[in-house]
A and B are shown apart, each in its own frame.
Chain A
């Protein structure tokens, strides 16, 4: 089973303070750490589990700058086979649709039984690239996948709905699945794997290599535009308890007592 996994490198912001930069349309990234997008990491693990069971190769495809090689190498180190990075100045400011169009151009020359992406990205969170890519490739898809089982020429998948409900469906291969977090337990790369991955070549493709025109990518090729980022108004918000651990604990216990909890 040959699998293509589309991966994105994102700033890690779950526990970091996020600040808007001077352009007003992006964030300050100088003090942030970058890593593979969380859902994409689960997609890569799912690909590893499938190829371990059924054989085949895993090709990573990334749309990003040269610095994304760090992420690609960390994923090659886990046992994925090849990595392709799509890099061109013209790709900047591509929206989710233009991003899907660039990825589709790259996937046209690849053969695959399955394409996996994460179900959303932890930065802009459009949940749009994967399924748009499936439509551009003309293959069946399923979004928010939390389980899968390979059958003969088909795949049985479980999708997450809201409120703890899931649905099971069967789709024909080749297909594209957007993988939801929690589907598996992503492995860590070994030191030996990392050392080997440093020597693996990363193929770089540009706008021209992909046979795309300038107007099909970037801002010009986009259908929606991010005008402005802002810090959400605080509203009433919480009453912040000040002081050291003991002091705030005392204040909290007092509040719990008022509420009749202790």
Chain B
């Protein structure tokens, strides 16, 4: 391998964590293969980011253009396609984020490159690149290989630990090939979530309910437990998707990140997106009927059983203890 290219991701004036995570793995691979690590930074007036990135890469390619001020998959593709065609890096990393998902597959099709999405890791084994993913909601691991290189991989945010940035790369400015605004796709605005009267990020005790609750009418079962414990009710994505609880109660990558003293996961299988939002909790208790549910791998205490029997019994027990 001669070059590994990592696309830097930033949003609303902040470099996203996935960028340094990808650069850390990129550096390991570059050292193993004797390759150059290149960070691609597209944006407008993002000079400070290139100062950070040069500590993590041998070279930073900076494309500054007012038309790149906000992420636009089509504008990014028009800049990256000729750049990657010319440089032909052996491996390109793009974050498996909402931006990445909007960009990488179309770019890979245009460039005729194999693409492995949502990778937890990419490693060199006997000179060949292997990508490691999760399938079936995190219940199984999958090892993937590429039909050929050059190739692309999208890296899941939070899957790789960011190492130290102690390089001193050079920053190279690259002219933007964009001559006009993309007319068929226009960025309008960012919308930030409104926090309701309950802020789950401030709670010491969270009782979180997931898909296992089955129906909206069963929610009070878990609400009772939250009340008995003096905690706050939160949930995983399927519950918000179904409209049973408002979005400000959702824990996970697309919701809130929480770190309570006690997190009780009720009927939550523990897809990565959920674990990313609650893994930092002090004590985690999980109740789930599937003994192989990924939630048990992060929980401190687990109950494999039917929540419809366990939760009422637990609520009762707590009330008796508190009353007595």
Interface contact A167-B131, CB-CB below 8 Å: no
For window 130-164 of chain A, which residues contact chain B by CB distance below 8 Å? 130-132, 134-136, 140-144, 156, 158-164
Interface contact A143-B98, CB-CB below 8 Å: yes
Q: How far is the CA of A140 from the CA of B285 in the complex (A)?
A: 45
Q: How far is the CA of A151 from the CA of B261 in the complex (A)?
A: 48
Q: Which residues of A contact B99 (CB under 8 A)?
A: 161
Q: How far is the CA of A156 from the CA of B322 in the complex (A)?
A: 53
Known: A128-B117, A224-B144. A165 touches B183 (CB 8 A): no
Q: Of A166, A222, A229, A235, which one neighbours B142 at CB under 8 angstroms?
A: A229
B-contact bits for A199-223, CB 8 A (1 contact / 0 none): 0000000000000000000000011
Please classify how large the interface on chain A is, using the bins under 10, 10 to 19, 20 to 34, 35 or more: 35 or more
A-contact bits for B127-147, CB 8 A (1 contact / 0 none): 000110111111111111111
Interface contact B297-A143, CB-CB below 8 Å: no
Interface contact B296-A227, CB-CB below 8 Å: no
Interface contact B141-A181, CB-CB below 8 Å: no
For window 130-188 of chain B, which residues contact chain A by CB distance below 8 Å? 130-131, 133-148, 151, 157, 183-188
Q: How far is the CA of A163 from the CA of B14 in the complex (A)?
A: 13
Q: Of A126, A238, A257, which one neighbours B301 at CB under 8 angstroms?
A: A238
B-contact bits for A224-235, CB 8 A (1 contact / 0 none): 111111111011
- Tell me the minimal C-beta distance from A14 to chain B in angstroms: 6
- Tell me the minimal C-beta distance from B10 to chain A in angstroms: 12
Q: How far is the CA of A195 from the CA of B70 in the complex (A)?
A: 50
Q: Which residue of B lies closest to A178 (CB)?
A: B101
- Tell me the minimal C-beta distance from B134 to chain A in angstroms: 8
Q: Which residues of A contact B269 (CB under 8 A)?
A: 14-15
Q: Which residues of B contact A142 (CB under 8 A)?
A: 73, 102, 185
Is B243 an interface residue when CB atoms closer than 8 A count as contact?
yes
Q: How far is the CA of A259 from the CA of B261 in the complex (A)?
A: 9
Q: Which residues of A contact B147 (CB under 8 A)?
A: 222-225
Q: Which residues of A contact B109 (CB under 8 A)?
A: 97, 100, 132, 135-136
Q: How far is the CA of A178 from the CA of B255 in the complex (A)?
A: 19
Q: Which residues of A contact B312 (CB under 8 A)?
A: 245
Known: A135-B109, A172-B185, A237-B297. A230 touches B140 (CB 8 A): yes
Q: How far is the CA of A212 from the CA of B303 in the complex (A)?
A: 52
- Tell me the minimal C-beta distance from B148 to chain A in angstroms: 8
- Tell me the minimal C-beta distance from B268 to chain A in angstroms: 10
Is B192 an interface residue when CB atoms closer than 8 A count as contact?
yes
Interface contact A240-B296, CB-CB below 8 Å: yes
Interface contact A143-B101, CB-CB below 8 Å: yes
Q: Which residues of A contact B106 (CB under 8 A)?
A: 131-132, 134-135, 141
Q: Of B96, B143, B191, B301, which one neighbours A158 at CB under 8 angstroms?
A: B191
Is A241 an interface residue when CB atoms closer than 8 A count as contact?
yes
A-contact bits for B105-125, CB 8 A (1 contact / 0 none): 110111001111110000000
Q: How far is the CA of A164 from the CA of B316 in the complex (A)?
A: 35
Q: How far is the CA of A69 from the CA of B221 in the complex (A)?
A: 38
Q: Which residue of A lies closest to B18 (CB)?
A: A162
- Tell me the minimal C-beta distance from B244 to chain A in angstroms: 11
Q: Of A163, A237, A245, A250, which one neighbours B309 at CB under 8 angstroms?
A: A245
Q: Of A123, A166, A170, A245, which one neighbours B191 at CB under 8 angstroms?
A: A166
Q: Which residues of B contact A27 (CB under 8 A)?
A: 136, 140
Q: How far is the CA of A75 from the CA of B169 in the complex (A)?
A: 55
Interface contact A122-B137, CB-CB below 8 Å: yes
Q: Which residues of A contact B74 (CB under 8 A)?
A: 140
A-contact bits for B271-289, CB 8 A (1 contact / 0 none): 0000000000011111001
Interface contact A240-B304, CB-CB below 8 Å: yes
Q: Of B113, B211, B316, which one neighbours A249 at CB under 8 angstroms?
A: B316
Q: Which residue of B lies closest to A221 (CB)?
A: B147
Q: Which residues of A contact B146 (CB under 8 A)?
A: 223-225
Q: Which residues of B contact A161 (CB under 8 A)?
A: 11, 97-99, 190
B-contact bits for A87-121, CB 8 A (1 contact / 0 none): 00000000011001000000000000000000100
Interface contact B141-A229, CB-CB below 8 Å: yes
Q: Which residues of B contact A253 (CB under 8 A)?
A: 314, 317-318, 321
Q: Which residues of A contact B292 (CB under 8 A)?
A: 17-18, 231
Is A185 an interface residue when CB atoms closer than 8 A count as contact?
yes
Interface contact B229-A262, CB-CB below 8 Å: yes
Interface contact B144-A13, CB-CB below 8 Å: no
Known: A136-B109, A237-B296. A246 touches B313 (CB 8 A): yes
Q: Of B73, B110, B190, which one neighbours A141 at CB under 8 angstroms?
A: B73
Q: Which residue of B lies closest to A261 (CB)?
A: B262
Q: How far is the CA of A135 from the CA of B106 in the complex (A)?
A: 5
- Tell me the minimal C-beta distance from B77 to chain A in angstroms: 9
Q: Which residues of A contact B105 (CB under 8 A)?
A: 96, 127-128, 130-132, 135
7 smallest CB-CB distances across A and B, nearest first, come from A182-B241, A238-B302, A164-B193, A223-B114, A238-B299, A245-B313, A135-B106
Given A162-B157, A171-B184, A231-B139, 11 additional A-B pairs, CB 8 A: A13-B139, A126-B118, A131-B105, A141-B102, A164-B256, A165-B11, A168-B190, A181-B237, A237-B299, A245-B313, A262-B318
